Amino acid sequence: RYQALNRTSREIRYISIQPSFNGDHNSPLVCSLGHLSLDDANRIQYEALSYCWWGGFPITLQHLNQNSTSQEYWVTRNLDAALRSLRRINQERVLWVDAININQNNPIERGQQVSFMGEIYSEADQVLVLLGEEDASTPIVRRVLETYESGYPRIENMKEQLPRRVFDRVMRAMDSLLRRPWFSRVWVIQEV
């Protein structure tokens, strides 16, 4: 099912997600698997996905091509949703996704790839974090993050800058964000 990785050149797999058909979010995912060497300075650029494996059931079936042969891969519903949301309209997107790019049925490969994970994430063009579905707190958190990104004073000053009820709402929204399962994962520091 998986083509073997070259251990001596520290190869990893990547997934290329082809653009959506006519921008249709529900169109089938068309993907292919490829290999790259972490030792190759001229390697293909990729983004790494950091997410929780929750949503194990129900699962959806995806078809991925490797060397012009179609293969079936089972992914969780939340990973299917992530791949669909990350799929671009007009160009392919190259990702590293542990559940797909590591042969989970091969303990030797899995162990070797886990030993590369720090480098896989640090060498990625960017790390994309999937925190889960949006909820009522999402717009508030997004606004707070955009405000701080634009140079707002330190968070300690926010309490004095905002009316009490607004500050309390912001703190509840931030608390809701930080309670999401992604923040309780062991690998979070290594990934971001």
Domain containing 70 equals 11-129
Over residues 152-175, the pLDDT tens digits come to: 566 667 777 777 888 888 888 888
**Together in a domain, 114 and 160:** no
* Cis peptide preceding 107, ω within 30 of 0: no
In a domain, 191, yes or no: no
Higher pLDDT pick, 44 / 154: 44
Task: Give domain status of residue 192, yes or no.
Answer: no
- Cα separation, 125 vs 183, in Å, equals 22
The mean-pLDDT minimum among 10-24, 68-82, 150-164 falls in: 150-164
Asked if residue 102 and residue 43 are part of one domain, the reply reads yes
The confidence score (pLDDT) of residue 93 equals 95
pLDDT value of residue 120: 95
Q: Please indicate, yes or no, whether residues 161 and 107 belong to a single structural domain of this protein.
A: no
For residues 30 and 43, is the Cβ–Cβ distance under 8 A?
no
Query: Does residue 155 sit in the same domain as residue 111?
Result: no
- Cβ-based neighbours of 172, under 8 Å, separated by 6 or more: 137
**Cβ distance 25 to 88 under 8 Å?**
no
Query: Do 42 and 123 belong to one domain?
Result: yes
Burial of 192 (0-12, 13-18, 19+ CB in 10 A): exposed
Within-domain flag for 171: yes
One domain, residues 18 and 109: yes
Q: How many CB atoms lie within 10 A of CB 75?
A: 21
| pLDDT (average), residues 84-101 | 92
Q: Indicate whether 55 belongs to any domain.
A: yes
Tell me the per-residue pLDDT of 105-121, one tens digit each, with 9 for 90 and over: 999 999 999 999 999 99
Supply the pTM of this predicted model.
0.77
Same domain, 116 and 159: no
Please check whether residues 75 and 47 belong to one and the same domain: yes
CA–CA distance, 67 with 33 (Å, rounded to integer): 8
Structural domains of the chain, count? 2
